[in-house]
């Protein structure tokens, strides 16, 4: 294990306080239970068990096992009947409503019927097929409905509803709601994107990541809504599969999730948070995931502990994620258990968002922990030759090629790379040599350099990278070599967590002298980042005074500016 020396922190306290992995080192966490429960006694499960024991599990095997594990949403469903007027024992819309992925003529809408949201089945009998009506109106009283329809909610997708609305006017506010039987959901507010050839005066968006339910309240969202952004971007770790940390304010239901039902309950518990529900109902979202939506530190189909059953666990986690997010229907999980979530979203000619997935397609991590055979480590870059293997990729070949093509052809004024972590190279230990954290972009230097070179293209206007994951606010000038020819090619703001605790600020303070590219580095701050772009971009780091209480004042802890046509970022 490699980590910053903290003589004042004893080992037991470190294990209690800090996450299983970080930029500063590894903390071992072996699973306390099998990764999946015993499967049904059938020919299918017997064959699968044999494959698992042998350590061989292909995507084809995953398909044959999916039905036995309840992953029927991956395989489609035989929808044949629907209840037009179902009766619910309680409000079926307790998980709220949400919208996302705006286009000039529409957006995606979401809800999930769950009269008993913290039960595995949501409180709806297994064989029910429920007809759900959706409405979009120009006014909150729904006096002028401009689009409506019906969809069927089915058990195989946990009675979630996804609607891709089209045919609307660009750059307009709309209201939406759902109706099932006599039950009516709360109304949500959303907005279409401007026309593709329009040049809006400004766009205000917020972004955050890493919201651990146990470690703090999601109280930053209340102030975020008062700041009135047009769009919310969430950059991973929407849920946590594990429990750790100091001064927990509430507890997860059940243990670590491994099955589809368990991931559904975990998502539902997070969705019961009132501040999170309000944020989803108030504005459209863009989302990507990181690792904790599934497990700590996976790389593509390899888990931290190199478990042969991981593909099944990941398929369950992906399906539950889809069932609880306002994702377009085209992002529904594929038959092989994969789920394409990287995309491009335009806001007229003013802004183009490239929403990336740096978890699902990446190569195995370099020089992994020899005991676990997977997961990240923090090490001296000179001791790990595998880091420089040109075949290793952070995004996967297909996604990386797509991104580089898109950046080459983009004519947007602002080009926003929305991804999970810190792109700019960083030295993770004070002193001689360079220490890298293999879970981040530093662990995939060929992909890192390729993206930085693409951002450096003179014809690319105002590139800006946004990220999360570090549980710290980090503002940086993106440089290929901060310790050599420190040319700045882009601005980067890696925002802090909504509630997840960070490593000690003293650990980061020790790194400042070795990282001149970093303008702001603070792990004591929680909250979100507010960005308003027009001709220039104004960046505000917004932090609650505490996440240990349901309500808290929020203050601005940093103010930065990115000037039009100027590469990099500076204090305001």
DSSP track, 342-375:
-EEEEETTTEEEEE--SSSSPPPPSS--TTTSSS
Domain co-membership, 229 together with 167: no
CATH at 357:
3.60.21.70
Of 190, 220, 247, the residue that ends a domain is 190
Residue of 197, 110, 125 lying closest to 413 (CA atoms): 197
CATH at 123:
2.60.40.380
Percent of the chain with pLDDT over 70: 85
Over 60: is that where the pLDDT of 47 sits?
Answer: no
Q: Is the dihedral of CA 239, 241, 246, 250 positive or negative?
A: positive
- Mean pLDDT to the nearest integer, 2-26: 33
CA angle, corner 376, sides to 374 and 379, nearest 5?
125
Domain co-membership, 403 together with 503: yes
Residue of 289, 375, 548 lying closest to 22 (CA atoms): 375
Domain co-membership, 162 together with 304: no
Could you list the residue range(s) of the whole structural domain that residue 133 is in?
Answer: 96-190
Report if residue 291 sits inside a domain.
yes
Q: What is the Cβ-side half-sphere exposure of residue 218, based on CA atoms within 13 angstroms? A: 23
Q: Is there a contact between 492 and 422 (Cβ–Cβ < 8 Å)?
A: yes
Q: Residue 65's pLDDT is what?
A: 56
Q: Residue 369's pLDDT is what?
A: 87
Over 60: is that where the pLDDT of 146 sits?
Answer: yes
Q: Distance between CA 221 and CA 244 in Å, rounded?
A: 23
Q: Residue 106's pLDDT is what?
A: 99
Domain co-membership, 226 together with 375: yes
Other C-beta atoms lying within 10 Å of the C-beta of residue 314:
23
Q: Distance between CA 500 and CA 292 in Å, rounded?
A: 12
CA angle, corner 124, sides to 121 and 127, nearest 5?
95
Q: Residue 430's pLDDT is what?
A: 86
- Mean pLDDT to the nearest integer, 471-495: 96
Of 145, 170, 190, the residue that ends a domain is 190
Contacts of 490 (CB under 8 A, 6+ apart): 452, 455, 456, 463, 464, 465, 477, 478, 567, 568
- pTM of the predicted model as reported, rounded to 2 decimal places: 0.89
Q: Residue 557's pLDDT is what?
A: 99
Q: Residue 32's pLDDT is what?
A: 31
Domain co-membership, 246 together with 113: no
Q: Residue 289's pLDDT is what?
A: 99
Of 190, 223, 250, the residue that ends a domain is 190
The helices-and-strands tally (H runs, E runs) of the chain is 10, 26
Lowest mean pLDDT among 159-163, 183-187, 456-460, 484-488: 484-488
Q: Residue 486's pLDDT is what?
A: 87
Q: Residue 431's pLDDT is what?
A: 83
Q: Residue 60's pLDDT is what?
A: 53
Q: Distance between CA 425 and CA 180 in Å, rounded?
A: 51
Count structural domains, the chain.
2
Residue of 196, 238, 265, 293 lying closest to 98 (CA atoms): 238
CA angle, corner 357, sides to 518 and 206, nearest 5?
55
Give the residue, 45 or 424, on which the prediction is more confident. 424
Q: Residue 372's pLDDT is what?
A: 85
Over 50: is that where the pLDDT of 519 sits?
Answer: yes
Over 70: is that where the pLDDT of 142 sits?
Answer: yes
Q: Please write the tens of the pLDDT for every residue from 238-283.
A: 999 999 998 999 999 999 999 999 999 999 999 999 999 999 999 9
Report if residue 84 sits inside a domain.
no
Domain co-membership, 268 together with 354: yes
- Mean pLDDT to the nearest integer, 191-205: 99
Over 60: is that where the pLDDT of 51 sits?
Answer: no
Crossing angle of helices 274-282 and 260-271, rounded to 10°: 80
- Mean pLDDT to the nearest integer, 380-396: 97
Over 60: is that where the pLDDT of 76 sits?
Answer: no
Q: Is there a contact between 236 and 289 (Cβ–Cβ < 8 Å)?
A: yes
Domain co-membership, 174 together with 201: no
Over 80: is that where the pLDDT of 287 sits?
Answer: yes
Please state, in angstroms and as integers, the Cα–Cα distance from residue 298 to each residue in 294, 301, 306, 368, 423, following that order: 8, 7, 9, 11, 19
Q: Residue 407's pLDDT is what?
A: 99
Go through 172-200 and write b for each residue having 16 or more CB atoms within 10 A of its CB, e for each that does not.
Answer: eebbbbbbbbebebebbebbbbbbeeeeb
């Amino acid at each position: 294990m490699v980590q910053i020396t903290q003589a004042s922190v004893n080992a037991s306290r470190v294990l209690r306080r800090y996450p299983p992995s970080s930029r500063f080192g590894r903390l071992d966490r072996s699973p306390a239970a099998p990764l999946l429960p015993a499967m049904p006694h059938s020919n299918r499960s017997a064959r699968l068990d044999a494959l698992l024991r042998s350590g061989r599990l292909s995507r084809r095997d995953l398909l044959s096992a999916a039905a036995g594990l309840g992953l029927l949403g991956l395989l489609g469903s035989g929808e044949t009947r629907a209840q037009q007027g179902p009766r619910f024992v309680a409000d079926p819309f307790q998980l709220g409503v949400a919208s996302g992925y705006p286009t000039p003529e529409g957006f995606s809408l979401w809800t999930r019927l769950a009269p008993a949201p913290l039960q595995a089945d949501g409180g709806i009998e297994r064989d029910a097929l429920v007809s759900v009506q959706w409405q979009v109106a120009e006014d909150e009283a729904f006096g002028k409905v401009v689009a409506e329809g019906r969809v069927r909610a089915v058990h195989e997708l946990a009675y979630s509803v996804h609607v891709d609305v089209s045919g609307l006017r660009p750059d307009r506010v709309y209201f939406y709601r759902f109706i099932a039987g006599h039950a009516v959901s709360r109304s949500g507010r959303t907005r279409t994107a401007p026309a593709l050839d329009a040049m809006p005066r400004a766009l205000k968006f917020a972004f955050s990541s890493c919201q651990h339910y146990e470690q703090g309240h999601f109280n930053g969202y209340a102030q975020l809504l008062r700041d009135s952004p047009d769009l919310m971007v969430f950059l991973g770790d929407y849920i946590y599969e594990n429990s750790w940390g100091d001064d927990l304010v509430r507890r997860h239901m059940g243990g670590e999730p491994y099955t589809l039902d368990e991931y559904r309950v975990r998502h539902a518990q997070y969705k019961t948070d009132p501040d999170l529900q309000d944020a989803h109902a108030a504005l459209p979202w863009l989302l990507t995931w990181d690792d904790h939506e599934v497990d700590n530190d996976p790389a593509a189909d390899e888990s931290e502990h190199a478990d042969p059953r991981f593909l099944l666990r990941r398929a369950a986690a992906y399906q539950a994620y889809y069932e609880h997010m306002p994702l377009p229907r085209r992002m529904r999980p594929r038959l092989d258990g994969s789920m394409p979530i990287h995309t491009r979203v335009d806001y007229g000619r003013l802004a183009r968002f490239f929403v990336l997935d740096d978890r699902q397609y990446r190569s195995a991590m370099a020089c992994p922990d020899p005991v676990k055979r997977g997961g990240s480590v923090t090490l001296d870059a000179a001791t790990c030759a595998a880091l420089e293997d040109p075949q290793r990729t952070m995004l996967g070949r297909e996604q990386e090629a797509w991104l580089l093509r898109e950046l080459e052809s983009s004519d947007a004024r602002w080009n926003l790379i929305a991804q999970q972590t810190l792109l700019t190279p960083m030295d993770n230990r004070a002193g001689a040599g360079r220490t890298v954290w293999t879970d981040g972009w530093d662990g995939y230097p060929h992909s890192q350099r390729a993206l930085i070179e693409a951002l450096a293209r003179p014809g690319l206007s105002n590139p800006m990278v946004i990220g999360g994951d570090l549980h710290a606010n980090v503002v940086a000038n993106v440089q290929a070599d901060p310790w050599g020819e420190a040319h700045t090619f882009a601005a980067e703001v890696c925002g802090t967590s909504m509630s997840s605790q960070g490593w000690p600020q003293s650990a980061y303070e020790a790194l400042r002298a070795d990282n001149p590219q970093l303008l702001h580095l603070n792990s004591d701050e929680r909250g979100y980042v507010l960005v308003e772009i027009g001709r220039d971009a104004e960046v505000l780091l917004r932090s609650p005074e505490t996440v240990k209480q349901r309500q808290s004042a929020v203050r601005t802890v940093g103010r930065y500016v990115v000037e039009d046509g100027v590469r990099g970022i500076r204090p305001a």
